[in-house]
Chains A and B, each alone.
Chain A
Amino acid sequence: MAAPASYLQIRDVVKDFGTGSLAVDHVSLDIHKGEIFALLGPSGCGKTTLLRMLAGFETPTAGEILLDGQPLGGLPPYLRPINMMFQSYALFPHLSVRENVAFGLKRDGLPRDEVAGRVDAMLRLVQLRGYEQRKPHQLSGGQQQRVALARSLVKRPQLLLLDEPLGALDKKLREETQVELVNIITEVGVTCVMVTHDQEEAMNMASRMAVMNEGCVLQVGRPGEVYETPASRFVADFIGNVNLMDGAVAVDEPDYVEIDCPDCRHHVGHGITGHVGMAVTVAVRPEKIRLSRERPLGLHNQVRGTVRDKSYFGSFTVYHLVLASGAVLKVSESNVDRFREDAPEEGQEAWAAWSSTAQVVMAP
């Protein structure tokens, strides 16, 4: 029995602006009803173009997009059951908060009391009761964002699009708003696609995400999957920090492999599809590595180096360890103890060690 078709199907979509390279290069995605899906990638990767094609501001050069089984085709934005929250909020400066939120409902020709009722309910949801008569320039950044959200949700769209929702807010406000935003969207229950270049935002808010680069989707999965099991060098490097070590497979067994790198030998606790002598890259995230002044027990998954930099960030400390080959290993340690006497200092020698489940083996 075939799996039920997903709610939003993006099938082999291509967008060519005629600049030589494709803005969106044969992207296919399946997004489920009710989930918050993030498109993550650096500037110019095509995520915003893809979002605009969902909204209807751009038409795909090839491929199709289906929402709940219905093809969107060349449907103009004002006929799609999709609403978007813009990066700049795009609140109408000449209309009050109430009029802004009611704008979309009025275009549908709904009776006046229904419009008023739904606007009131939405403003209560985003906690802006009492601000109805204000104009956008009389609101703070956070308040403007809530109006923009209310305006895009009040029409109960089948799909909500967020374009860099938290880009304009400062750090503190961003953290609070992330949680609030997810709560509101989940409470309303709308399917949501968001675009961001901020990986923390994507991992925090989304239930699933796609990492994009140069128009292509590199990996799709839950934030935990993408972070802990990156499929390629780019993904591993783009999300969080990572140490990438090139090497060759020395021992290939069904339940473990050993990989020889210039500085150390990895013992990885699972098998891989490959053969002895194959060139691979081993990725180990800095927080998976432990530093110590004495040599740790065991033969593998350890390396000695000199501390070049030590950066204190309050809740964690980042060390840069120069290895024998000249490569630099990044280690991040949580400051579990308030004062640690045996912490390695700059210039000192130290040993870095990790477990055999800490590595991800990928193609070079």
Chain B
Amino acid sequence: MSPARPALRRPPLLGPGFHRGFGRGWLTAGFLFLYLPMAALVLASFNASPLPARWGGATLRWYRELLQDGELGAGLWLSVEIAAWAATASVVLGTLAAVALTRYRRFRGRTLFGGMVSAPLVMPEVIVGLSLLLMFVSVQRWFGVPERGALTIWMGHVLLGLAYATVVVQARLEGMNPALEEAAADLGARPLQVFWLVTLPLMAQALAAAWLLTFTLSLDDVVLSAFLSGPGSTTLPLVLFSRARLGQRPDINAAASLIILVVTIGVTVASVLLARAERRRAAELRAAQRPTG
């Protein structure tokens, strides 16, 4: 067990004061840049005037209208449904793919497999969407199924999610001590039992992260959904996109603010919980190191 590395200190770049000031300044400016649009949206959602250029006084009118917006509501429901199923399938397939890539060094077509898994990560969605759509149409011509709709959107989202999930799970697997799985086998666990009893529980956090990641990606997806949707399967991003193209719409501002609020609460709660668990774990580690034998 090697000694802990010293924490990254701050040797001066051009002088300690300049360094600290420059750093703080850059970070602050960067975060302002990142959060400015979100703040603007929230502000605009309370603007009585539909034009962002003029401030017409504070109002909750847009939120009230939002609650009655059936199209948005339907889109939201559909998006959440698709996203949940897509995330689940992505995690399952991604775990299988990650295990295959880490545990088996050589098998026929491994390079092709690795390439196909990671390609959706970088390929433009327009191309992925176009190819999938053409394939679905062709298959429909031959077999009569599938009709373009929620199912086809789901399939496209899983393709994308698979790539991300594999990356996350693979990173976790490669960091895992291989001796743990060997120890389980040595103690009498058959390969599937090793996976179920040891590998999977240790991957739990990575699996959760992968699920959330693919859920968000699916929920947010515009291009693939546009290509692969059919009548009656308009997802929330598609609704928003068609409205956004037309210009500024205050109902979008209200919807956006709500989404931002939900996400902020979610991320903050998650970070606080994680930080607390981390602190508890560090304390337990320190307690164990004290000489008691």
B-binding residues in A (CB < 8 A): 55-57, 76-79, 82-84, 86-88, 90, 92-94, 103-104, 107-108, 135, 137-143, 151-152, 155, 168
Indicate with 1 or 0, residue by residue over B176-194, a CB within 8 angstroms of chain A CB atoms: 0101101111111110010
A90 to B185, CA, bound (A): 12
Contacts of A56 in B (CB 8 A): 185-186
| Chain B positions 251-293 with a Cβ under 8 Å from a chain A Cβ | 281, 284-285, 287-293
> Which residues from chain B contact A79 at a C-beta distance below 8 Å?
188
Tell me the residues in window 148-187 of chain B with beta carbons closer than 8 Å to chain A beta carbons: 177, 179-180, 182-187
Residues of B contacting A107 with CB < 8 Å?
187-189, 193
Task: Tally the A-B contacts, defined by beta carbons under 8 Å.
Answer: 78
Contact indicator A140/B189 (Cβ below 8 Å): no
> In the complex, what's the smallest C-beta–C-beta distance from A283 to chain B, in angstroms?
37
Q: Tell me which of B177, B190, B197 contacts A88 (CB under 8 A).
A: B177
Judge if B1 is at the interface, Cβ distance under 8 Å: yes
Bound together, the chains give a CA A86 to CA B186 distance in angstroms of 10
Chain B interface size, under 10 / 10 to 19 / 20 to 34 / 35 or more: 20 to 34
CA distance A94 to B190 in the complex (A): 19
CB distance A137 to B281 under 8 Å?
A: yes
Q: Which residue of chain A lies nearest to B204 when distances are taken between CB atoms in the complex?
A: A94
Rounded to whole angstroms, the CA-CA distance of A94 and B189 in the bound complex is 16
Q: Which residue of A lies closest to B284 (CB)?
A: A138
CA distance A76 to B189 in the complex (A): 10
Asked whether any CB of chain A lies closer than 8 Å to the CB of B201, the reply is yes
* A78-B183 contact given A92-B198, A138-B288, CB 8 Å threshold: no
Which B-chain residue is minimally distant from A101 (CB atoms)? Answer: B187
Q: Using Cβ atoms and an 8 Å threshold, which residues of chain B touch A77?
A: 182, 185-186
Closest 8 pairs between A and B when the two form their complex, measured CB to CB: A104-B187, A107-B188, A90-B183, A90-B179, A77-B185, A94-B201, A86-B179, A138-B284
B202 within 8 A of A: yes
Bound CA span A135–B287, Å: 12
Decide: A86 near B183, CB < 8 A? Known: A78-B189, A138-B288, A140-B289: yes
Would you give the shortest CB distance from B172 to chain A, in whole angstroms?
A: 13
Given contacts A86-B182, A107-B189, 15 further A-B contacts (CB under 8 A): A55-B186, A56-B186, A77-B185, A78-B190, A79-B188, A90-B177, A103-B184, A103-B197, A107-B187, A138-B285, A138-B287, A139-B288, A140-B291, A140-B292, A152-B186
CB distance from A356 to the nearest CB of B (A): 48
8 Å CB contact of B293 from A90, A135, A140: A140
User: Does A143 lie within 8 Å of B188, measured CB to CB?
Assistant: no
Shortest distance from the beta carbon of B173 to any chain A beta carbon, whole Å: 15
A83 and B187 CA atoms in complex are apart in Å by 6
